Amino acid sequence: MLKKITLLSATALTAFALNTGEINMNNKDLEVSGKFDVGQFNEAVEPNTTFVGAKFLNTDAEHSDNGRADLDPYFEVNFLMMKPIGNQDMQIGMGAKINFTKHFTSVPLGLQFAYKIPANGYVPMYLNGELYYATSVLSFNDADSFLEYRLSYDVEIIDNGKITLGYRSFNTNYEANKGYSSTGGDFTYNSYWYVGFKIGF
């Protein structure tokens, strides 16, 4: 009995753990990201609780409403702390990011969740979501605020190998009379569906 409990606990833990690499794409956009579990490198940190990562997004004006054909690439460095909720194969977390393009820099704070969908006898499936926001005091250069939200659905077709389907939205609010915009206002930097792969290592 103890052996079964230990095995189940280890399975639940590794459902979300591991360092991960991810690539997402659609007909116009390419997104590449990596996330590292600090607990795998530092014995003072519990595994599967603290993560650092980076992201790159090269997008197209067709999935934006800011009217520019020369959208600057998006870069991001992020930090996340996660915690399991009971024994329901669910985690919630708090995070912070530093993101920037040529004219936009912000430090959004936010929440994330990850949920393993019960599916006995089937391949493991996961539902993930995140919401990040930066107010004016956390926005720099020409930026006035930033809002990001994302939902994704993952299917683990092989061990530590997942196919993901998701939707993301990046809304950038610019100050008026700055280099990027004379009128200011809220612009959708990128908003579209994507498919991709996640690899754990």
CA 45 vs. chain centroid, Å, equals 22
* Domain span at 103: 2-200
Percent of the chain with pLDDT over 90: 63
Judged against a pLDDT cut of 90, whether residue 197 lies above it is answered with yes
The pLDDT tens digits for 71-89 are: 789 999 999 999 998 877 8
Count of other CB atoms within 10 angstroms of residue 32: 15
Distances (CA, A) of 164 to 81, 93, 152, 175: 22, 20, 7, 35
Q: Label residues 130-153 b or e (16+ Cβ within 10 Å = b).
A: bebbbeeebbebbbbbbbbbbebe
Average pLDDT over residues 95-100: 97
Look up the pTM and report it: 0.85
Judged against a pLDDT cut of 80, whether residue 27 lies above it is answered with yes
pLDDT of res. 66: 60
The pLDDT tens digits for 135-147 are: 999 999 989 999 9
The pLDDT tens digits for 120-176 are: 778 999 999 999 999 999 999 989 999 999 999 999 999 999 999 999 999 988 887
CATH number at residue 125: 2.40.128.90
How many structural domains comprise the chain? 1
